[in-house]
Amino acid sequence: MKRSKIASVIANEPIGQEVLVCGWVRTFRNNQFIALNDGSTIKNLQCVVPFEDTDESILKKITTGAAVRLRGSVVASQGRGQNIEIKVSDIDIVGEADPEKYPLQPKKHSLEFLREIAHLRFRTNTFSAITRIRHTAAFAIHDFFHQRGFVYISSPIITGSDAEGAGEMFQVTALDLDNIPTDEQGTVDYKQDFFGKKTHLTVSGQLEAELAALALSDVYTFGPTFRAENSNTSRHLAEFWMIEPEIAFADIYDDMDLAEDMLKHILKSVMTRCTDDLQFLENRLLAEEKNKPQQERSPMTLRDKLQFCIDESYERITYTEAIRILKNSKPNKKKKFNFIIDQWGADLQSEHERYLVEKHFKKPVIITGYPKDIKAFYMRVNDDDMTVAAMDILFPGIGEIIGGSQREERMNVLLQRMKDFDIHPDEMEWFLDTRRFGTCPHAGFGLGFERLVMFVTGMSNIRDVIPFPRYPGSAEF
């Protein structure tokens, strides 16, 4: 007999039919009722064991966490809370879980505790819901770009270029660190390293995506990126996944439109495909917020918030307007911000971003036209010669979720910018070739996948939306 997934049994309610279901016991009540979960849905399947006809030794092994294979017929349920249940005829204990030792008990565990046992947290409602939503979001992203004729590019993970300047990098080496080869000057001789040069883990696939876009027009990457910045925050990971589209013959406005369309497509897709998981997470959030003071509770439920970000058009403002709003804001005047905004040119901190989104506009905000000194060398310089065609998208509760720009396609301007940033053209000849031969206006952006998953799931710590988070001091599992 072929195994049925619990999601399909619950959805189809094949009353009267025999089924074979496999999964892990969540709870076993009254020596009779198994709540079975196989990860295909947040819902458990109630399976009723004929305890009078079942060996005591078998019943003893039906414990929380045990893997079982059950055969039985689907019947209408007498109890409340489910329409159907399985009247079990055959029980097969596939993998036991010693209840004395199994760390996950059928009770609420703190997220901090679950992080310590991340290898088992897939088995919780919260984490399995997040994991299914994460999958659905990833699928929606590929679907979105595929529908629009974008080509998926695999950008390298090990890179010999260190020009992106997006953050501190992890070095990759095969040298014996206890016996490092040096040259005559006593400096490390990377010629003897695996690649014959110094290499790092990538911080972004953008530069390579640009190369592809200048031939294939519309491309995107979706891969892991690594930053060794020592930011021990709830929004930073040392290893995170980034989606980076790059579009040719396009400007910053096309870029913003693409980003907004993409975000809405993902949100819609999760809203329609993950109803049960979202409902679970929404209730989880409501319960969590009950313990918070009124003013810290969010005014909208999780799904209202997602729907809101699908329906609303995102506020588009310039950096200059943002600074004006922030300068005149209450928290700035009352010196409540940690970083007081006193002049044009200041970098926006997450407290400022969140003020703009959550207090001032009360919707997602796209900021454009940042001062050129605080943004990367590859961003296109605007006619004012003071700002670049950059754009950041800020989301409620998250802050920056997307960073992007129109790229500098003019060779002479790009060379000057590289000079300003102390980037030697010799190291970037391959990049400059795209400007040398058949250059064209192009633009792109990077979406931080875990920031998006945080938003969609309502989780407040980025370490809870990726299976095995990497952050300063931690690379467990």
Whether residue 317 contacts residue 363, with contact meaning beta carbons closer than 8 Å, is answered with no
Using the rule CB under 6 A, is 400 a contact of ligand 4AD?
Answer: yes
Residues 292-351 that bind ligand 4AD (CB under 6 A): none
Query: C-beta of 116: minimal distance to ligand 4AD in Å?
Result: 21
Indicate the residue among 341 and 465 with the shorter CB distance to ligand 4AD.
465
Query: C-beta of 163: minimal distance to ligand 4AD in Å?
Result: 11
Pairing state of beta strands 18-29 and 3-4?
A: parallel
166 touches, from Mg ion, ligand 4AD, none (C-beta below 5 to 8 Å by class): ligand 4AD
Q: How far is CA 175 from the centre of its chain?
A: 33
Query: C-beta of 230: minimal distance to Mg ion in Å?
Result: 17
Indicate the residue among 238 and 306 with the shorter CB distance to ligand 4AD.
238
Write the binding mask 239 to 268 for ligand 4AD: x where contact by CB under 6 A, - elsewhere: -x-x-x------------------------
Residue carrying the six token digits 């700035």 = 332
Among 206, 332, 387, 406, binds ligand 4AD (CB under 6 A): 206
Residues 423-452 that bind ligand 4AD (CB under 6 A): 444-446, 448, 450-451
- Listed in sequence order, the DSSP H helices in 239-318 are 252-273, 275-290, 302-311
Structure tokens at 73: 């017929």
Identify any residues that bridge with 21 across adjacent strands, giving them in sequence order. 4, 70
Using the rule CB under 6 A, is 236 a contact of ligand 4AD?
Answer: yes
- Cα-Cα-Cα-Cα dihedral of 160, 162, 167, 168, to 10°? 70
Among 364, 403, 404, 444, binds Mg ion (CB under 5 A): 403
Total site size for ligand 4AD, rule CB under 6 A: 21
Window contacting ligand 4AD (CB under 6 A); options: 92-100, 105-113, 139-147, 398-406: 398-406
Identify any residues that bridge with 316 across adjacent strands, giving them in sequence order. 366
Indicate the residue among 280 and 455 with the shorter CB distance to ligand 4AD.
455
What H or E segment, with its residue span, contains residue 66?
Answer: none
Among 65, 223, 403, 458, binds ligand 4AD (CB under 6 A): 403
Which residues are within 8 A (CB) of 262 and not within 5 positions of it... i.e. 6 or more apart? Answer: 141, 144, 145, 245, 447
Q: How many CA atoms lie less than 13 Å away from 117 in the CB half-sphere?
A: 14
Query: What is the per-residue DSSP string for 259-281?
Result: HHHHHHHHHHHHHHH-HHHHHHH
Whether residue 211 contacts residue 204, with contact meaning beta carbons closer than 8 Å, is answered with no
CA 389, 394, 397 angle in degrees (round to 5)?
Answer: 165
Structure tokens at 101: 């030792």
Window contacting ligand 4AD (CB under 6 A); options: 131-139, 150-158, 235-243, 316-324: 235-243
Using the rule CB under 6 A, is 358 a contact of ligand 4AD?
Answer: no
Sites of contact with ligand 4AD (CB under 6 A): 166, 204, 206, 227, 236-237, 240, 242, 244, 400-405, 444-446, 448, 450-451
Sites of contact with Mg ion (CB under 5 A): 403
